[in-house]
Amino acid sequence: MIDHYVAFRAIPGQAQALSAMLDGFVADISGKLSCVAAISAGVNINETSLRLGYTHGLYVRLRDRGALGDRYGRHPAHLRLLAGIDTVCAERFAIDFVATASTDAEPPRFAPISRTFHEETKDEPSQSV
C-alpha cells in the first residue's frame, strides 16, 4: 500500500473554491478505480500547519506503487485537478510513502469532511489517457 498525502495553501479568498474542487475530485475518483483503497479530502484543522498557511488536505491510499504515476496519476479526474488547482491554490506539496501499518485501518479524517471513500474493490474504468 502507498499513502499519498497532499497539503494545500488556498489563495486568499479561494478556500471555498478549493474545497469544491477537492470535493469534485473525490467524487470523481470514489469507487471508480480498484487501485484506490481510500480517499478523503477536507479543511485542515491542525494548528501548526494552519499557522504555515496550509488550509486543506487530501489523502489517498493506493493498493500498489505503480498506481501512483499510472492508473491514479493518469486518471482523467486527476489530470483535471492538476490542470485547475493553481487557480485556487497558492502552494501545495505531496508526500508519498509505503504504508507499514495495518492496511485495514480507517483513513485519516479531515474535518469537516467533505467526502470520504473507503472500499475493498471496485472495477477500474477502461479509459486511457
Question: Could you tell me if residue 124 is inside a domain?
Answer: no
Residue the block writes with cell 499519498? 4
The per-residue pLDDT of the chain, averaged, comes to: 83
Question: Could you tell me if residue 26 is inside a domain?
Answer: yes
Tell me the per-residue pLDDT of 72-113, one tens digit each, with 9 for 90 and over.
999 999 999 999 999 999 999 999 999 886 555 555 555 443
Question: Could you tell me if residue 120 is inside a domain?
Answer: no
Question: Could you tell me if residue 122 is inside a domain?
Answer: no
Distance, in Å, from the CA atom of 71 to the CA atom of 123, rounded to the nearest integer, reads 12
Please state, as a whole number, how many other Cβ atoms lie within 10 Å of the Cβ of residue 94. 11
Question: Could you tell me if residue 123 is inside a domain?
Answer: no
Domain limits for position 10: 2-115
pLDDT at 47: 95
Tell me the per-residue pLDDT of 50-70, one tens digit each, with 9 for 90 and over.
999 999 999 999 999 988 888
Number of domains in the chain: 1
pLDDT at 113: 39
Give the global pTM.
0.76
Residue pair 54/10 in contact (Cβ under 8 Å)? The answer is: no
Distance, in Å, from the CA atom of 117 to the CA atom of 38, rounded to the nearest integer, reads 5
CATH number for the domain that contains residue 25: 3.30.70.100
